[in-house]
Amino acid sequence: MSQSEDKLLVTIEGSSGRHYTVRFDGVSAVESHSPQDMMLYALSEADVDAESLRRYDFLNWYFDEPEQEESKSYLRIVANRFAVTESD
């Protein structure tokens, strides 16, 4: 994960071993707890109070297993938009 001004880049490794970059533009908030090495279940998108913003949640594979230490990892981003590209 790297951030500069109102942009945030998140790198994801797929199960195939390929890497993807998720670029968020117009970032207004980031909340996270140990997102490194989190096993990703899904990326969800939801409305927020501000008309031009959306909330993006990286859903942890272990979200329904609270006894697992891995379940505490999360990443939430409020931004205008996102795009996914395959990276090297």
Residues 8-25 have pLDDT tens digits of 999 999 889 999 999 999
Taking residues 62-71, what's their average pLDDT? 78
Cα angle vertex 68, ends 1, 62, to 5°?
Answer: 55
pLDDT for 63 beyond 80: no
Q: What's the rounded Cα separation, in Å, for the pair 13 and 40?
A: 9
Instruction: Please identify which residue in the block is written with the tokens 């891995």.
Output: 70
Tell me which residue range forms the domain holding 60. 2-87
How many folded domains does the chain comprise?
1
Strand partners, 58: 43, 75
pTM score = 0.87
Q: What's the rounded Cα separation, in Å, for the pair 1 and 12?
A: 9
